[in-house]
Amino acid sequence: MTPRQRRMSLVFGILAGVGIAGALALSAFRSNVTFFFDPTAVAEGHVKTGEHFRLGGMVTQGSVKRTPGSLEVHFMVTDFKHDVPVAYSGVLPDLFREGTGVVAHGHMDGNGTFVADEVLAKHDEKYMPPEVAKSLKRRHGEAREDALSAAPGSGGAAQSAPNAGSEGAGGQSPPSTTSTAVPPGTPAVGPTASAPTQVANAGVH
């Protein structure tokens, strides 16, 4: 082979490799990407039974129910228009609480219950996963979100560890303004304590 032919064959080889890899990646992409839906989208029938997706919304106040001693937990996820019942078996994340945002991964069973295999409670400082915030905004507009922010919190029942009592479990605390520094010794427990910034941004990676 002349150097030119060799170079051309090399280029073709590379292109073929990249092409195959691209095609495979694309197919992996199609079959492995999960979409995000809110309860209204679920109620409007955008998802098929058994299809895996991410459900996001707020955990309805007072909806967390657990058979004592069991890992099975049931709660409602709401976008304040529609509710979706969720069933989950396993350890809930530290930030999971009634009245706060949640994203769950799973599928709908035949009876209209979302069976979650993973529950995520990642928040920004407004207590809301960004995609949940966006979906709520879309459904209700800014005004509704502001009303939500102002809503007073009621005690959270999800967390019931003896000392890790329910803290600031209510609705959204106001967007963290800078002057809300808390003096030392503020009691950490008790349903009335507010949590100005529970930021789940876990680092600087």
Partner 1 sequence: MLPELGQFALILALLLSGLQAFFGIFGPMFARDRWVAAVTPAVAGQFVMLATSVACLIYSFISNDFSVLYIAENSNSALPLFYRVTAMWGAHEGSLLLWIFILSCWTVAVSIGVSRMPVRFGARVLGVLGVVSFGFLLFTLATSNPFTRLDPPAPDGRDLNPVLQDPALAIHPPILYTGYVGFAVAFAFACAAMLEGRLDQQWARWTRPWTTAAWAFLSCGIALGSWWAYYELGWGGYWFWDPVENASFMPWLVGTALIHSLAVTDKRGLFKSWTLLLAVLAFSLSLLGTFLVRSGVLVSVHSFAADPRRGIFILAFLVIMIGGALTLYAWRAPKLKSQAGFDLSARESFLLFNNILLVIAAATVFAGTMAPLISDSLGLGTLSVGAPYFNPTFMLSMLPLTALVALGVHANWKRGRLSEKQRMLLLTLIASVVLACITVFAIYSHGKILTPVAATLGIWIILTSLVDPIDRIRRNMSLSRSVLGMTVAHIGLGLFVLSLTTVESFTLEHDVSLAKGASTAVGAYEFRFDGVKSIEGPNYQGVGGTVTVTRHGEPLTTLYPEKRQYYVQHTTTTEAAIEMHYGSNVLVALGEDLGAGKWSVRIQVRPLVNFVWLAAFIMAMGGVVALTDRRYRVATTAGAEDTAVTGVTGEHAR
Q: Which of residues 51-70 bind partner 1 (CB under 8 A)?
A: 54, 66, 68-70
Q: Does 16 interact with partner 1 (rule: CB under 8 A)?
A: no
Q: How far apart are CA 33 and CA 29, in angstroms?
A: 6
- Sign of the torsion angle spanned by Cα atoms 23, 131, 167, 97: negative
Q: Which two tokens stand for residue 161?
A: 């560890």
Q: How far is CA 196 from the centre of its chain?
A: 20
CB of 200 to partner 1, least distance (A): 6
Q: Does 139 interact with partner 1 (rule: CB under 8 A)?
A: no
Out of 83, 115, 125, 154, which residue is the one contacting partner 1 (CB under 8 A)?
Answer: 125
Tell me whether residue 110 or residue 204 sits nearer to partner 1 (CB atom): 204
Q: Does 171 interact with partner 1 (rule: CB under 8 A)?
A: no
What's the chain's length in residues? 205
Tell me whether residue 110 or residue 185 sits nearer to partner 1 (CB atom): 185
CB of 117 to partner 1, least distance (A): 11
Q: How far apart are CA 49 and CA 56, in angstroms?
A: 17
